[in-house]
Structure 1
Amino acid sequence: MSVYSIKDLEHLSGIKAHTIRIWEQRYELFSPQRTSTNIRYYNDDDLKLILNIATLKNHGYKISKIVAMPPQLREQEVRKIGEEDQTYEDQMSVLTLAMIDLDEEAFSLALEKTIEHAGFENTMIRIIYPFMRKIGILWLTNSINPAQEHFISHLVRQKVIAATDKLQINESGPLFLLFLPEGELHELGLLFANFLLRKRGAKTVFFGQTVPLEALEEVYHKLNPEYILTAMTTKPETGEVQKYITRLGKRFQECEILITGNRIVGQPLDIPKNIRIMNQFEDLLAYTPQLAV
């Protein structure tokens, strides 16, 4: 079972830690365990409870009424809300609950409902990626089991690939090569970028995970792309990032190189002239206005 700090509960539910502490004292909602240094920590059941409370509060229920409900009634009220139009916060709560329980059916149903209502692209940008960022932070701090993060990533990956497969390839569109550096396995963002570019008329060649620069250079000279797009989430190692992007800039001088990821966004680096940093997906689309629908 995963364990969460009170900040994790705040992060996932949107309810301030100070408020959670007040409720804990006033209503005895939780019975947190304590570490050897007397720091509170919470379990999956506590997280489920705070997510249900957050959903009900977002729909006008007062906390006094929520805590007076028997647990079964509280869950029934949350399910009723789930059958109606949901806010983005509600949808992320549903996805989080599905992740905790490793419930593929619940996750898929919630995702399909949202896609039907908001469209695939909006669902990814407004719900899935904010959700994945939250989960990624918990994964990096060892608050959740890595299996839970992989479970969700795999399901989302399937949806992105399926949506991309439905798009026609525009042979006359500007050519993008998409790859991840050696050792980099976090390809979900790059897969979605591939979808966005193809949807807007670009021709893309997707190489995926852990691609050596020597191999990329060989196909670069064969295909002569206008753009190269990559992401650096965990690789290269922190001390190697500057050296790596310098090599990228020199080896692929005749095209524009677009880079995103934690290893490079907001970092004090010397960026070669033919490299542009992308903070988010909207930056990618703004940089290629000729592709906009």
Structure 2
Amino acid sequence: MARELNGVYRIAQVAALTGVSEHTLRAWERRYGVPRPARTIGGQRTYSAAEIELVRRMKQLAAQGVPLAEAARLALEESRAPVGEPRIQRLTASLRDALLAFDEASAAATWAELFDSLDLMAAFEQVVVPLMRDIGIAWHEGRATVAQEHFATNFVRARLDQLSRQVQPFSGAPIVVLACLEGEHHEIGLLMLAVMLRFQGLRTIYLGQDVPDEDLIRTVEDSQPDVLAVNAGTPEGALHLPGIVERLRDTAPLTSIVYGGGAFDRDPELHVSGAHYGGPELPAAAKLINDLARARVHGGAS
């Protein structure tokens, strides 16, 4: 079956894959709440593989003579059954084993199954974040080699980049600049955050690892984003933040600054006034950034 990479679909693709017309899909969504697409800030619908299965199930029930309202209720009820912990554990173990064995084909197949089984947020929270944390710990403890850790990191980074490119927010959407502070090289968490924000309709300027203070400040001054989101895993990296906040207070006064990462999670003394701590969980950080960005769009400032 033809499928869009990593289970992200547009309405025309859903219609082609299910045999349900675009007009009917919109009518079912409006009348019965099936399917339940995500929307970019520009109003474009995006569908997960789970939504496609929901449409197929509703179509199947309707073909059996079940009234549409009842078919929608039954399909939704069935879809709410959570993905079982054994399956999550299996997917995590399969992905870990494939990455540590340098088996890209098996890792790619498991990655595809993961995003067919869980939505974006759940896949990140329940599998990708803990898996990359475990591989990092194994590296530091000598149970995984540098080569294994680098292969796993590069695989996940490439897949996250592919996910990010599947969504193109409209030109007037709020802008978020994301960067690892100077000296910081661990970017997977920040990259996952960038993907989440793009799927939620925000425009992202992703700068990546080890961004020198002056380059970061210049980028923010030139682009005047709604939010600057920065990450630091070490105290040394975190100590770059106060100077950046101070400089941008005058040159980008409407840009809200959000910071996070292991250094700030472990040591509250590194927290900075005049900026917002995003917390240790990606969903909470994404919500904070969304709220700040949209507040500025609607006339508020940080």
Shorter-chain TM-score range: 0.5 to 0.7
- Tell me the SS of whatever aligns to 1:273: coil
- In structure 1, how many angstroms separate the alpha carbons of the residues matched to 2:103 and 2:239? 43
Residue number in structure 1 paired with 2:118: 118
Residue number in structure 2 paired with 1:13: none
Residue number in structure 2 paired with 1:280: 281
2:243 maps to 1:247: yes
Contact 1:245/1:271 (CA < 8 Å) preserved in 2? no
Residue number in structure 1 paired with 2:104: 104
| Matched AA of 2:106 | A
Residue number in structure 1 paired with 2:227: 227
Residue number in structure 1 paired with 2:158: 158
TM-score normalised per structure 1: 0.64
| Pair 89,212 (structure 1): closer, same or farther in 2 beyond 3 Å | same
Residue number in structure 1 paired with 2:73: none
Contact 1:178/1:208 (CA < 8 Å) preserved in 2? yes
| Matched AA of 1:250 | E
Identity %: 22
| Greater relative CO, 1 or 2 (CA 8 Å, sep 6+) | 2
| Matched AA of 1:160 | L
2:137 maps to 1:137: yes
Q: CA deviation at 1:86?
A: 5.3
- The superposition leaves residues 108-136 of structure 1 with CA deviations (integer Å, 9 ceiling, x where unpaired) of 11111121222344322221111111111
Contact 1:229/1:259 (CA < 8 Å) preserved in 2? yes
- Tell me the SS of whatever aligns to 1:148: helix
| Pair 159,121 (structure 1): closer, same or farther in 2 beyond 3 Å | farther
Contact 1:176/1:204 (CA < 8 Å) preserved in 2? yes
Q: CA deviation at 1:270?
A: 4.9
Q: How does 1:131-280 map to 2 (within 5 A)?
A: 131-234=131-234, 238=235, 240-241=236-237, 243-253=239-249, 254=253, 255-278=255-278, 279-280=280-281
Give me the CA root mean square deviation: 2.3
- Tell me the SS of whatever aligns to 2:172: coil
Contact 1:184/1:233 (CA < 8 Å) preserved in 2? yes
4+ long deviations beyond 6 Å: none
Q: CA deviation at 1:177?
A: 0.9
TM-score normalised per structure 2: 0.62
Count of aligned residue pairs for this structure pair: 205
List gaps (5 residues or longer) in structure 2.
1-83, 295-302
Which has the higher mean CA deviation after the structures are superposed, 126-135 or 283-292?
283-292
| Matched AA of 1:246 | P
Q: CA deviation at 1:241?
A: 5.0
Residue number in structure 2 paired with 1:77: none
